[in-house]
């Protein structure tokens, strides 16, 4: 149906002129007050016809649909009939008015939402107003109580106030409902519903059944199921002794792009930071592969540019066969490591101390050996790149100045470099050196007074 119409009781008039069976404008003696609806022409004769009119202009009905059916709700055009002037046309015995409301309530004619109002629109009265849904076994209802509250009943006897959180769960079932908020009131085995997941009672204690992200051990202990990804937002505080396996980003673990392929299947690899801000595996084959050492790469990089996790402080797991308490250094290329007792590398780089057979505590070293240089004929020695300390053993004999068995160390800084000079004794004669300069650009040590011989040991 196009729209609901209202009938006009006692409306009756006559045709001004004869009409054909298909005519859509019909002149009448008196126009109806309702400007759209249903009428019957010649209702008390065999030539009767139901029509629908859509408008009224003066005393003429417009938009008339002819020959409507005598039952059902389809008010489309049928077969019209011709009528002479002067016959009656009236609003009576038209079933379409009832049919349209029937279709509306049952939803058969709905196009969109149906709005249905029940009640007289007056103020709340002292009487309850309920609407029942009757079945063969129970009469459920909903409606308003005498206080104007919306209530519902599933058994037709007990009703619950919806605004108070009523849903059929009574306060005696260990759940309090106040203003729509449910809370546990008491604990007893019969009070809570036991299901495959959710809350249950165990030894008078409230327990949580295992669900997604949770699992239970054979001793019925609850733990996180690591087959599911768990996340947390906000600040989390942990007290007591907490053990975390694996690695956590943000807890001394940072993300970097790798500068090469890094394989960590055997053990985490020590890495240095490049000038481009990427990480590269430390190795003892070149001084340029040592600094700045920042920690251990703990995830693999399949190619340069792959993002990896680098542990920069604390304990690093993932090793095997370590000797607890030993210091571990870089040994050879590709991030290999070795206990200091077995290191044969030219350059030293301490990585940390073994805290167990499979963990290293990151502990960077100092005064690490970088190689030896002899004093050349021109009284100079070349330091390796990155060297910061030099221990110099050189002598120039002064026959008249003797100090048998003397030995001392002098330390001073020059041109931003820390230089350590070691003096020894030779044939009872005091040896000395002075006026040493260290050029940080060329890494060249120059002695103001050329020593007769000497060796320089360099350290980082």
- What's the pLDDT tens digit per position in 285-298? 777 788 888 999 99
Q: Which residues of 189-223 are buried (b: 16+ CB within 10 A; e: fewer)?
A: eeebeeeeeeeebeeeeeeeeeeeeeeeeeeeeee
Tokens of 192: 């809570």
pLDDT at 88: 96
Distance (Å, whole) CA 165 – CA 182: 8
Give me 40's structure tokens.
């019957």
How far is it, in rounded angstroms, from Cα 38 to Cα 96? 8
Q: Could you count the other beta carbons within 10 Å of the beta carbon of residue 23?
A: 16
pLDDT at site 196: 47
Domain tally, the chain: 3
The two counts, helices (H) then strands (E), for the chain are 1, 38
Query: For 29-58, what is the mean pLDDT?
Result: 93
Residue 267 lies in a domain: yes
Final residue before a domain boundary, out of 362, 377, 411: 362
Confidence of residue 29 (pLDDT cuts 50, 70, 90): very high
Q: Does the residue 262 lie in any domain?
A: yes
Mean pLDDT of the chain: 75
- Whether pLDDT at 137 is above 50: yes
- Clarify whether residues 262 and 350 are in a common domain: yes
Between residues 430 and 279, the one the model is more confident about: 279
Q: Name residue, tokens 């609407």.
A: 131
Task: Determine phi and psi for 361, rounding to 5 degrees.
Answer: -90, 120
> Looking at the structure, do residues 312 and 400 belong to the same domain, yes or no?
no
The string of pLDDT tens digits covering residues 245-255 is 555 556 688 99
* pLDDT value at 421 more than 60: no
Rounded distance between C-alpha atoms, residue 57 and residue 35, angstroms? 9
Does residue 55 surpass a pLDDT of 80?
yes
Specify whether the backbone of 203 is left (phi greater than 0), alpha (psi in -120 to 50) or beta.
Answer: left
Residue 376 binned pLDDT confidence (cut-offs 50, 70, 90): confident
Q: What percent of the chain has pLDDT over 90?
A: 30
pLDDT digits (tens, 9 = 90+) for 179-223: 556 665 554 444 444 444 556 666 556 666 655 556 666 666 666
Q: How far apart are CA 147 and CA 129, in angstroms?
A: 11
The pLDDT assigned to 85 comes to 96
Q: What is the pLDDT of residue 70?
A: 86
pLDDT of 306 reads 94
Distance CA 303, CA 289 (A): 19
Who has greater pLDDT, 264 or 333? 264
* pLDDT at 411 (0 to 100): 34
The Cα angle at residue 409 between residues 403 and 410, in degrees rounded to 5: 110
- Domain boundary residue, one of 362, 397, 414: 362
Average pLDDT (393-415) is 41
List Cβ neighbours of 113 (8 Å cut-off, separation of 6 or more). none
DSSP state, 387?
A: -
Least confident of 126-135, 294-303, 330-339: 126-135
Scan for tokens 């396996």, then name that residue.
Answer: 245
Is residue 228 one of the residues assigned to a domain?
no
* 326 and 383 inside one domain: no
* Predicted pLDDT of residue 428: 39
Does residue 82 belong to any structural domain of this protein? Answer: yes
pLDDT at 38 over 80: yes
For residue 201, the model assigns a pLDDT of 61
Neighbouring CB atoms inside 10 A of 71's CB total 8
Least confident of 54-58, 102-106, 154-158: 102-106
pLDDT at 45: 94
pLDDT grade for 448, boundaries at 50, 70 and 90: low
Percent of the chain at pLDDT exceeding 70: 62
Tell me, yes or no, whether 201 lies in a domain: no
Q: Report whether 458 contacts 393 (CB < 8 A).
A: no
Q: What is the pTM of this model?
A: 0.41
From CA 460, how far away is CA 4, in angstroms rounded?
A: 96
- In this prediction, residues 156-165 reach a mean pLDDT of 77
What pLDDT shows up at residue 114?
Answer: 53
Half-sphere exposure of 217 (CA within 13 A, CB side): 5
The answer to whether residue 2 sits within a structural domain is no
Ranges assigned E (strand) in 92-249: 129-134, 139-144, 150-153, 160-161, 175-178, 181-184, 198-202, 205-209, 214-216, 222-224
Same domain? 343 vs 396: no
| Predicted pLDDT of residue 292 | 87
Instruction: Output phi, psi for 161, to 5 deg.
Output: -80, 120
435 inside domain? yes
The predicted structure's pLDDT at residue 122 = 65
Residue where one domain finishes, among candidates 106, 141, 173: 106
Decide if 244 is inside a domain. Answer: no
For residue 395, pLDDT beyond 60: no
> What's the rounded mean pLDDT across residues 73-78?
85
pLDDT at position 397 over 50: no
Give the pLDDT of residue 457.
80
Domain check: are 319 and 259 in the same one? yes
Same domain, 429 and 454: yes
* Cα 435 from Cα 334, distance rounded (Å): 42
In terms of pLDDT, which residue wins out, 313 or 193? 313
Residues 303 and 352 in one domain: yes
Average pLDDT in the 404-430 region?
40
Per-residue model confidence (pLDDT) at position 432: 41
Do 278 and 326 lie in a common domain?
yes
Structural domain boundaries, residue 39: 12-106
Q: Do 397 and 322 lie in a common domain?
A: no
């Amino acid at each position: 149906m196009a729209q609901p119409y209202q009938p006009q009781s006692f409306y009756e008039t006559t045709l001004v002129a004869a009409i054909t069976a298909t005519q859509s404008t019909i002149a009448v003696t008196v126009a109806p007050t309702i400007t759209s609806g249903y009428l019957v022409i010649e209702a008390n004769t065999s030539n009767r016809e139901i029509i629908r009119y859509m408008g009224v202009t003066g005393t003429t009905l417009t938009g008339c649909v002819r020959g409507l059916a005598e039952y059902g709700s389809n008010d489309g055009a049928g077969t019209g009939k011709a009528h002479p002037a002067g016959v009656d046309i009236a609003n009576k015995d038209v079933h379409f008015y009832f049919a349209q409301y029937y279709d509306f309530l049952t939803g058969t004619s709905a196009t969109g939402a149906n709005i249905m109002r029940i009640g007289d629109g007056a103020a709340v009265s002292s009487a309850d107003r309920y609407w029942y849904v009757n079945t063969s076994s129970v009469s459920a209802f909903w409606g308003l109580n005498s206080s104007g509250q919306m209530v519902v009943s599933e058994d037709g006897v007990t009703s619950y106030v919806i605004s108070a959180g009523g849903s059929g769960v009574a306060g005696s079932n260990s759940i309090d409902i106040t203003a729509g908020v449910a809370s546990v009131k008491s604990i007893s085995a019969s009070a809570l519903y036991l299901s495959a997941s959710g809350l249950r009672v165990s030894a008078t204690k409230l327990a949580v059944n295992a669900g997604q992200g949770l699992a239970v051990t054979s001793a019925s202990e609850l733990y996180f199921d690591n087959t599911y990804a768990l996340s947390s937002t906000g600040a989390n505080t942990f007290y007591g002794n907490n053990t975390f396996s694996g690695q956590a980003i943000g807890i001394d673990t940072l993300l970097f792009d790798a500068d090469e392929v890094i394989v960590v299947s055997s053990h985490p690899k020590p890495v240095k930071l490049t000038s481009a801000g990427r990480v590269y595996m430390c190795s003892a084959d070149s001084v340029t592969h040592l600094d700045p050492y920042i920690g251990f790469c703990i995830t693999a990089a399949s190619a340069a540019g792959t993002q990896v996790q680098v542990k920069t402080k604390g304990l690093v797991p993932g090793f095997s066969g370590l000797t607890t308490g030993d210091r571990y250094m870089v040994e050879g290329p590709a991030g290999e490591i070795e206990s200091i007792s077995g290191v044969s590398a030219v350059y030293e780089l301490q990585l940390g101390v073994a805290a167990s057979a499979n963990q290293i505590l990151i502990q960077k070293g100092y005064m690490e050996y970088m190689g030896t240089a002899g004093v050349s004929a021109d009284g100079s020695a070349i330091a390796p790149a990155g060297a910061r300390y030099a221990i110099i053993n050189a002598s120039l004999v002064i026959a008249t100045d003797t100090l048998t068995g003397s030995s001392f160390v002098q330390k001073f800084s020059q041109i931003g470099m820390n230089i350590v000079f070691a003096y020894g004794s030779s044939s009872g004669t005091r040896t000395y050196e002075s006026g040493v300069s260290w050029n940080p650009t060329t890494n060249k040590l120059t002695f103001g007074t050329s020593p007769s011989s000497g060796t320089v040991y360099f350290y980082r």
